[in-house]
Structure 1
Amino acid sequence: MTYRFFFRKTFSKSSPLVALHTSCIFLLLHLSRAAFFIPPLCRSSSSCFFFVKPNTHRPPPSSLTTPVTTDPSSFTNHHCCFLTANPKMDRNRDQNAIVAAVASVLAFGLYKLVIKLPDESTPSEIRNNPRFYPYFKDCIGALDGTHVRASVPLSIQGRFRSRKGGTTQNVLAAITFDLKFSYVLAGWEGSAHDSRILSDALSRPRGLRIPEGKYYLADAGYGIRNGYITPYRGVRYHLKEFSDQGPENEKELFNLRHSSLRITIERVFGILKKRFRVLDAEPFWNFQTQVDIVLACCIIHNHIMGVDPSDLLNQGLFEEPDSDLIIPTLTEREEREEAREWSAKRDEIAQTMWADYMTRNIR
């Protein structure tokens, strides 16, 4: 079943939704008032979607529309859509179809408008912090993978089974340091290695693009090569390991600063999954819709960050890294050649950083 989409102003000053207290909107939708009432995704500052049955040529009057929450077992009342108030409507079937339709529209119609690769300028989060600048001046973001629950046919569940046991899709994402997604590749099997997914992203015609001389920060599971820099192996890395004493050499200092920046992507994943509980729920759509929902959630996240960067959910949330520590599947020669250039770049950054640290004791 397909649905036609209409944009129409639905919120007036007398609307009960307008009268909702900010805290109520946040509790119901996990959106701030600003993000809820200014949806540029709809190309109008006071519009929202209408979804109507096929062959209906006019949008229904506002008196016939009512907000209805989706399946509480998956969205837990944090997401609402507007449905035609039709007594003959099969609520479960039609709501599921509408969720699938909305996800598809967002994923294919708005991805390029909302999720954009970063430019080549140094991010302000680096430029304005002496712990990171000028050492990471060529860094344009961080990348990592995260797992989202997936429902697939029994015959292929083995490929989608993650190391934690459940069936998942492995999602690769790149982010900028203002907590926005700059690239998302969803749909890979849960058992796929992170480095394999990254290779796929880099090889796609409209995939992940890294400007010459720029790079992303990644964890050790990707290995160091052209376009992204990983921490030193066999050296203390995570922030909690530095709680009692400072770094003892340039490699430990580099790993500390690397971790301080790269953890931004763990924070973004944490915010995303906190806001969109559907990503942790057992899905009941077909797999393509499951992929579209991941992309749609990332698009809405970027919208919220653009409208309300001080959103309440952005305060202190992140999840622990869950990437597999696996060497990329390159030939030995390719690995040596790429590692030589980018390892030298990493060493240069670490040595400069350590010299300044010893001089100014900036930690």
Structure 2
Amino acid sequence: MMNVVLVGCGAMSKAWLDAAREVPGIAVVGLVDLDADRAEARAREYELDGVVVGTNLDAVLDRTKPQAVFDVVVPAARREVAFSALSHNCHLLTEKPLADSPENARAIVDRARQAGRVHAVVQNRRYVPNVRRIRRFLDSGAIGAPTSIHADFFVAPHFGGFREEMRHVLLLDMAIHTFDAARYMVNGDPKRAFCLEWEPANSWYTQGSSATAVFEFGGGKVFTYRGSWCADGFRSSWEAGWRIIGERGCLVWDGFDGLKAEVATREREGLFDHLEPITVPPLNESDRVGGHLGVIQDFARAVESGTEPETRGADNIKSLGMVFAAIESAETGRRVDISEDI
């Protein structure tokens, strides 16, 4: 049994609690929020009888002595929560992003390593079935090594609250899902970034609702991202729409169920190589899926077995490095190198 304290009882906590109650062996023993009434309401909603509710994380950890902390707070509070959890010898699973600055990200990852605790991030787009299928398909070499990766993300949600006041809101709050998926699907590490960020006249955000970024990956791969939080009309999937070009063909995914690929043959028809459709195989039974549920299951297995989860902080920091490099590029107007530890 893994006892858990969840900190941050806002809207996102529902996805965590919904998933956690599907995982045998996880018991939520504490809820923490600056608003005690909100934490109490969440405890009633999920019928968490006997759960300890409080506004101070250290005090609740002292009372409950859990094995793990689920961190669902706003990014600005991430470092404080992480340090508190790790100082109480807890394993830590955190909402994305890992941190709100490169310095805080490094500090959290270093502290988790020193503490010898499992530390992971809910980078749940990796656990989307078609993301798994694409990675397996590309690894097979069916269209050759990926050379160019393109993603389009265009949605227009009216969140209200802190997001509409954030700076760099698209890059810092959402783009990491797409960046991390790109890294995973083509098995690439980011090296450099160039980004343009702007605020369209139709936007209801304070700053940074639209961005275009180009990333150089190792091995000659280039990834381009076009995104907007305020693009009404013809909404894209939350997973973005993708075109991945390989040495001998192309894969296209609309972010929903439309997933198809073509491979070039040795024949040529006029100016163009002849193309044939190729099937993207279904999920393998070993593929881990399930969004939040998949991440939490992976985290629980890692704690139990003493291994590292797939979305461990030491790896996820590379995706976060893409975010901060894009932000720096947008602010300075120059290309920015991405170091391995940001």
Length-normalised TM-score, structure 1: 0.28
Structure 1 or 2, whichever has the larger Rg, is: 1
